[in-house]
Amino acid sequence: MTRYVALLRGVNVGGVTMKMADLADVVRGLDYSNVKTVLASGNVLFETAAAASTVKSELETALRNRFGYEAWVHVLTVAQIEKLVAKYPFDRDVTRHAYVVFVLKPEVRDELLAVELDPAIEKATAGEGVVYWTVPKGSTLDSAMGKAQSAAKHKPWLTTRNLNTLEKLIG
């Protein structure tokens, strides 16, 4: 059995609302075990013998059927999340957000990394399948990277998590 983390894009922000108890029910309905949701932003831990690609497909279909929205899910092992957290390259500071942007398509990651940033405000760098990003608190949505991520064309391909959330998932 593999311990996975599923990161749902856009849950309880921007119009898609669901109770985490309902999300857990959907995951249990797929016969996954040891299901646990973390926070109310679409993060769920579970175990299954299925491959990550199978889990992604099954979970997206189940979410579409249950909640009636275009579900996009990123599925990683807990070990993958641990490695990504350990490799976060920027200094942590209480005045800044520490983000990991999960990107399914390399060309989308490259496009995000090509965004012109003011290094006095925000910084971003590549990681394995992710973009590491730091920005002052209160500036996320107005920053160049924040605006780039919000483009509708990117919805199926990325989701962002605060490093604190990821630490809760692996804690």
pLDDT in tens, 25-82: 999 999 999 999 999 888 999 999 999 999 999 999 999 999 988 889 999 999 999 9
Q: What is the mean pLDDT of the chain?
A: 94
Q: What pLDDT is recorded for position 13?
A: 67
Q: Which residues contact 164 (CB under 8 A, 6 or more apart)?
A: 98
Alpha-carbon torsion, ordered 89, 79, 6, 26, to 10 deg: -160
pTM (two decimals)? 0.94
Q: Residue 80's pLDDT is what? A: 98
